[in-house]
Amino acid sequence: MKKYSLLAALAAFFLFGPAALADNLKFSPLLGDNMVLQQNASVRIWGTADKGARVAVTASWTDRTVEVKADSKGRWEAFVDTPAATFEPQTVQAASGSETVRAGNVLIGEVWFCSGQSNMEMTLGGGMGTPVEGALDEIAMARQYKGVRYLAVRKARALEPAEDAEGTWEECNPATAPRFSAVGYFFATRLSRALDVPVGIINASWGGSVIEAWMSRELLKDCPDVDLANASDPSVNDMYKPMIMYNAMFRPASRYTINGIIWYQGESNISIACYEYADRLTAMAELWRKDIGRGDIPFLIVELPPYDYYDGQYGLQDGHGPIVREQQFIASQRIPNAGLIGTNDLAYEYERTQVHPSRKREVGERLVYMALNKAYGYPSVPALNPCFKAMRVDGGKVIVSFDNARAGFLGTDEIRGFEIAGKGGGFHPAKAELQMSFREGNCVVLSTPAVPEPVSVRYCYKDFEVGTLKGANGLPLIPFSATLPEE
């Protein structure tokens, strides 16, 4: 066999010249069999070829051929218009001279980009001491989601933006589903059912990574607390290095045409620039959207789960969890077309010291509700969490009103998590009663004999506190802290 191959190669060389031996025509590693392409869009198809070579790109759903020319480094890219979503397998092909590359079993549907740290990276199959509730049934039944596909961007580091990233598209079945991001899996499978279209997920996550690792040099150079030299310092843990994941993972993956972003990160910023988190997340979202080039596509943020942060655990600080959650909410209000997914009710008491809570299904489902509301023309889907609107004091009682609570709250035997404080005093647990008034709508009335003249209120404003108050839509009240303005 080796002798025959050598003779065939020599014959090709003499008959057709060196080009016939070339193996330079390639798709990007992020493109290939089993991928999902964004429907009703001009999608980027890119790769490498001989320098200056002409590349013709064709697709099975159209008679149109797109011809482009590789640049001086052999890079080429073409834009192909896609039709409406279909579960019918398609093909995409690129040809240059005698070379041809082909991607088969391609579906047309919705594509989303997921990123963050370990709670996004966490697989459906779970990890050491990190189970996913209901995972076994989901894995066993995974073949029913024939339109769901998944690509995990391989972890990489770079000091400058990389040309490309690595990854392989996988179909959804019992063999592959355990490797899917759990949050990504539940989001993709439920969105596919909701819209009746294929869904592709691209996941670029890194456990323990700080937000600064996903930002560009340009955004970080003016941050006084960020030392860009740490990016190349071998003594610094990769998850704390600025910009390296943006350069090596996000920036090249941003070339793939997507329709939305899911961000699940923040634990590692509990002790690192936690008060600057909203500013950095807002700047990062703007940068990512600019790189993707599709305008203000939805940017969905998953709230940090309850967890008992404490000194000595990776340097994490007591009491800083609610600060980052508050910063996440602020960012969700600043970023156009963004949404915050509340999770303060999705932890069990025994998960107090588990930073990876098991209830990932509800996280994925809530992301779908928000996606329907923000991205797919269903604003009537009540996907928004109740959140603080205003407070006033009346006779020693605090009356708190809320946005997104017009339909009221679900009944509960006990409302826990509210605390009030007087001027210069500490916070005390407050008795909470639901009330409906014409002035403020659905309210909570708070009181405690320990605070006769309250001026401040907060809810679930601790590292670990499981919320019990939910809106009529079943979504939890977003944790908050508020103080009356001084007269």
Arithmetic mean of pLDDT over the chain: 93
Domain covering 108-375, topology = Rossmann fold (3.40.50)
SS3 254: coil
Q: Which residues pair with 232 in a beta bridge?
A: none
What integer is the mean pLDDT of 135-143? Answer: 98
Residue 430 to residue 416: CA distance in whole angstroms: 8
pLDDT over 70 percentage in the chain: 94
* SS3 label, residue 28: coil
Per DSSP, what are the bridge partners of residue 151?
A: 202
Of residues 225 and 312, more confidence is placed in 225
Q: Can you say how many angstroms the Cα of residue 20 is from the centroid of all Cα atoms in its chain? A: 44
pLDDT value for 312: 54
Tokens 């310092």, residue located = 233
Higher pLDDT among residues 1 and 324, named by residue: 324
pLDDT > 90? residue 310: no
Q: What is the DSSP letter of 308?
A: -
Query: Got the DSSP string for 362-386?
Result: HHHHHHHHHHHHHHSS-TTS--PPP
What band does 309 get if pLDDT is binned at 50, 70 and 90? confident
Q: What's the pLDDT band for 487 if we cut at 50, 70, 90?
A: low
Question: Among residues of the chain, what percentage have pLDDT more than 90?
Answer: 89
| C-alpha closest to that of 296 among 261, 340, 256 | 261
**Confidence at residue 57, expressed as pLDDT on a 0 to 100 scale:** 98
Give the model's confidence band at 8: pLDDT under 50 very low, under 70 low, under 90 confident, else very high: very low
User: How confident is the model over 52-67, as pLDDT tens digits?
Assistant: 999 999 999 999 999 9
Length of the chain: 487
In this prediction, residue 251 has a pLDDT band, given cuts at 50, 70 and 90, of very high
Measured over the CA atoms of residue 301, residue 305, residue 308 and residue 314, the dihedral's sign is: negative
SS3 (DSSP) at 392: strand
Closest CA to 387 of 318, 333, 448, 452: 333
Phi, psi at residue 115, to the nearest 5°?
Answer: -155, 165
CA distance linking residue 210 with residue 224, whole number of Å: 16
Q: Tell me what pLDDT residue 316 has.
A: 57
Q: Looking at residues 325-344, what average pLDDT do you find?
A: 98
Average pLDDT estimate for 112-130: 95
Q: Is the pLDDT of residue 298 over 90?
A: yes
pLDDT at 311: 55
> Could you state, in order of their start, the residue ranges of all structural domains in the chain?
21-106, 108-375, 387-483
Tell me, what's the pLDDT at 219?
Answer: 97
Taken in order 339, 340, 345, 346, the sign of the CA dihedral is positive
**All residues at 6 or more sequence positions from 425 whose CB lies less than 8 Å from its CB, including other chains:** 451
Is the per-residue pLDDT at 16 higher than 70?
no
* Phi and psi, residue 90, nearest 5°: -120, 175
pLDDT band of residue 7 (cuts 50, 70, 90) is: very low
Closest C-alpha to 388, from 418, 410, 355: 418
Q: Quick check: 35 and 63 in contact, CB under 8 A?
A: no
Indicate whether 314 pLDDT > 60: no
For residue 155, pLDDT over 50 is answered with: yes
* Top-confidence residue, 313 or 104: 104
Q: What is the pLDDT of residue 313?
A: 54
Q: What is the pLDDT of residues 359-408, one digit of tens each?
A: 999 999 999 999 999 999 999 999 999 999 999 999 999 999 999 999 99
Quick one: pLDDT at residue 20? 40
* Nearest CA-CA partner of 327 in 295, 391, 283: 283
**Residue closest to 314 by CA, chosen among 362, 350, 271:** 271
Q: Beginning with the edge strand found earlier in the chain, give each strand of the sheet holding 431-437 in spatial order.
A: 387-394, 397-403, 441-447, 431-437
Tokens encoding 198: 């294929």
Which H or E element spans position 63?
none
Neighbours of 484 (CB within 10 A): 14
Q: What is the DSSP letter of 268?
A: G
- Decide: 483 and 419 in contact? Cβ < 8 Å: no
> pLDDT digits over 421-450, tens only?
999 889 999 999 999 887 888 999 999 999
Mean per-residue pLDDT for 147-157?
A: 98
Which long-range contacts (C-beta less than 8 Å, at least 24 apart) are formed by 421-430? 421/451, 421/454, 421/455, 421/456, 421/457, 422/451, 422/452, 422/453, 422/454, 422/455, 422/456, 423/453, 423/455, 425/451, 427/456, 427/458, 430/398, 430/457
Quick check: 350 and 328 in contact, CB under 8 A?
A: no
Architecture of domain 21-106: Sandwich (2.60)
Contacts of 267 (CB under 8 A, 6+ apart): 117, 118, 119, 208, 304, 307, 316, 324, 355
